[in-house]
Amino acid sequence: MFKTLLLIVNPKAGKRRSRSFFFDIFQVFSQAGYLIRLRLTAGPGDATRIAREEGGQFDLVVCYGGDGTLNQVTNGLLQLDSPPPVGYIAGGSTNDFAASLQLPSDPAEAAQAIVESPGRYLDVGLFNGHHFMYVASFGAFTKASYSAPQDLKNDLGHLAYIIEGIKDLSSLRSYRARVEADGEVFDGKFLFGAVTNTLSLGGLVKLKSEDVVLDDGKFEMILFPEPKSLVDLNDMARALLLQDYSGNGLIMRHASHVTVSTEESLQWSLDGEREDAGRQVEIQALHHRLFARM
């Protein structure tokens, strides 16, 4: 008996010029007994709409694209009463979350991993009612995640984010915020803040594997306080270099609920997609919210 699979593809994602690998993907899924329906996205939000409107009709939904495409598909599926399992073939320019999941970089191998996977539950973030898979961030370099031109990201990958971040240095500033993480309060000025469930943020911030568990009901909160001296700046640089956030340079906590209150409305990035927020943000880690086959 055949099973059904919805393959949602972002045709603009990634650095691969040739699309011949799609034949290999189709072969893997077909040999595993799936009848496949291919849907190409045409613009922002399209993957969410397709997943919401059509995902419930299939045994499995697989997306091909970057982490932002996965974000959109997830948001669409989680609007369903009984969402099907989701698979992810990473075809973006950085694929931070795919790296945390240790997904194969070869599309055909990723497809094979999906059909062989017994499945696992993953935590999902909730940001003022919107879901995200691996990061909600504000401040320094956040704009680079959604403002870097797609062609540049396709060509240069991580380097595109660094270039875009350097362009943003002229407007680098701190933001006054009150951050509460599972009852612990941090009040001050911060260059950057993030609530994450990943090992890497654009290659700029990296966490150790022992510090990140993708299904423990907690996300990692990271804050960069405004440096008040060269010593503070040196401590921050050292913490980033050594991936050690236990010292004075940075703040990291494991938390299931984070509230961020600011004096002004901030632009956030959710999985690399721009999200305009008000002056108060509620972020929650939803334990085992999504069933994934990856």
Q: Which residues are known to be catalytic?
A: 273
Contacts of 85 (CB under 8 A, 6+ apart): 59, 60, 61, 119, 291, 292, 293
Residue whose tokens read 């598909």: 73
Give the 3-state secondary structure of residue 236.
helix
User: Rounded to an integer, what distance in angstroms lies between the CA atom of residue 196 and that of residue 218?
Assistant: 9
Distances (CA, A) of 264 to 113, 261, 281: 45, 9, 12
Tokens describing residue 46: 């399209």
Give the 3-state secondary structure of residue 134.
coil
